[in-house]
Structure formats: C-alpha cells, structure tokens
C-alpha cells in the first residue's frame, strides 16, 4: 500500500492571503464559509477556530490588503519629498493595474466602503482610516508641490487632495463595473489631465512614457 504523506499545511498568513483574494473578487456577503474552504484549502474548523470565523478572517484580510496592496500603491506618495509628479505617477499606476486580471476586482477597501461599512461601525472605522491615510498623503504631496512652485497660484490644497482621493474610489468602482476597460482608462486619463491643469511648470510626460507600477 503506498505511503500517504501528511496533508500540506498552509501557513496562517497564506491562509489569510488566499481569503483576501477571494473576498477581493467576490465581496464579503457573496463569500460563504464553504467558498473559503474550497478556495483557500483550509477546513471549516480552521476558519472558525484559528481565524475566529468568517467576519474575523475578513478583518484580517482587510489588514493584509492594506499592508501589501494599498501600501504598494501609496509608496510613491508617502516617500519624502513627493510632489506633483508623484501624484501623477500615483495615478499612472492605475493604467497598468487595469491591464491585469485583478484590475476587474477594483479595490478591496473601496468595495468594502459601500458593501459592508454602512452596516458595521468597526469596518467603517477602518475605511475612514484608509481614506484619511490616502487623503493625507495626497495633501502632503500637494503641499510640497506648492512649496516648490509646482502648483499654479490659487489651487486649494484641501479641495485638490479631496478630489484626488475621491477619484481613487471612482476609478476602483468603475473598474469593478461591467464598463469596457477603454472607458476606465479614459477616466484615469481625464484625472491625469486635471492634474496637469494645476501644474505651474512644464506639462509632465504622457503616461505612456512612464512605466506604471504593477501590483
């Protein structure tokens, strides 16, 4: 009789990562415990005992998403000295993101903001912190741009940062919709044109000349 080895043990962080991808693709409410079992390779007992159930596993997935995906996107803005070109480069990343299969998933945090946050204060608080982090990074970059003379006179920094932050949620919602990829890319291009419009310096190079970040 052939010897059967022990079942492959999946590390806890990898369990959360697999769950994160599933929640990202399907959403919280459309993901069942059975889905988690079949897609992640962990059993129902582990979901309930090691991770505290579906809700607790979802919260872990959100934290991992922010640490890995969100932080990767925000890195260009959260670098010391980031200015207007960093804001533009930040949005150029979405053009590359949209070309990947996961581009159709949108953003897990943005999706959660409309799906779960309205009914769950703890999740709403996490989304508020994410939006504050995003808006704060954009405003600091705009402040640096103003100090270096990169912004034209009269630009309201708070309004500009809020517009850019709202644009991120808009891109990700549009990306998750059935809209053609071309339409979503055009939307991103429109945001890039709006950023160019507040520049006091020479117009930045077109996004096609810049290499977007892949996540």
**What per-residue confidence (pLDDT) applies to 208?**
47
Q: Is the dihedral of CA 205, 206, 207, 208 positive or negative?
A: negative
Domain count across the chain? 2
pTM: 0.85
Domain boundary among 41, 63, 85: 63
Structural domain contains residue 52: yes
**What per-residue confidence (pLDDT) applies to 38?**
87
**What per-residue confidence (pLDDT) applies to 8?**
58
Token pair listed for 117: 């946050």
**What per-residue confidence (pLDDT) applies to 140?**
97
Dihedral angle over CA of 177, 182, 183, 187, nearest 10: 110
Q: Which residues of the chain have pLDDT under 70?
A: 1-8, 202-215
Within this chain, do residues 79 and 180 fall inside the same structural domain, yes or no?
yes
Within this chain, do residues 97 and 140 fall inside the same structural domain, yes or no?
yes
Structural domain contains residue 19: yes
Could you tell me the CA-to-CA distances from 55 to 22, 28, 48, 115, 120 in Å, in that order? 14, 9, 10, 14, 11
Structural domain contains residue 82: yes
**What per-residue confidence (pLDDT) applies to 42?**
83
**What's the DSSP call for residue 7?**
P
**What per-residue confidence (pLDDT) applies to 5?**
41
**What's the DSSP call for residue 73?**
H
Within this chain, do residues 130 and 41 fall inside the same structural domain, yes or no?
no
Within this chain, do residues 138 and 181 fall inside the same structural domain, yes or no?
yes
Q: Which helix (H) or strand (E) holds 26?
A: helix 12-26
Provide the residue range defining the domain that includes 135. Answer: 75-209
Structural domain contains residue 7: yes
């Amino acid at each position: 009789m052939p010897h059967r080895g022990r079942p492959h043990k999946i590390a806890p962080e990898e369990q959360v990562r697999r769950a994160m991808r599933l929640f990202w693709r399907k959403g919280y409410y459309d993901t069942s415990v059975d889905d988690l079992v079949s897609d992640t390779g962990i059993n129902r007992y582990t979901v309930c005992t090691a991770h505290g159930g579906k809700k607790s596993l979802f919260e872990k997935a959100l934290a991992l998403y922010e640490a890995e995906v969100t932080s990767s996107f925000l890195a260009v803005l959260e670098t010391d000295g980031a200015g207007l070109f960093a804001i533009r480069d930040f949005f150029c990343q979405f053009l590359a993101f949209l070309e990947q299969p996961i581009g159709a998933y949108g953003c897990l945090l943005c999706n959660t903001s409309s799906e779960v946050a309205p009914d769950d204060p703890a999740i709403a608080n996490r989304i508020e912190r994410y939006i504050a982090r995003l808006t704060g990074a954009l405003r600091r970059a705009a402040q640096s741009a103003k100090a270096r003379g990169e912004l034209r006179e009269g630009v309201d920094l708070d309004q500009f940062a809020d517009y850019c932050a709202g644009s991120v949620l808009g891109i990700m919602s549009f990306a998750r919709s059935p809209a053609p990829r071309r339409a979503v890319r055009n939307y991103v291009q429109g945001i890039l044109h709006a950023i160019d419009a507040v520049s006091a310096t020479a117009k930045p190079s077109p996004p096609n000349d810049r290499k977007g970040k892949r996540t």
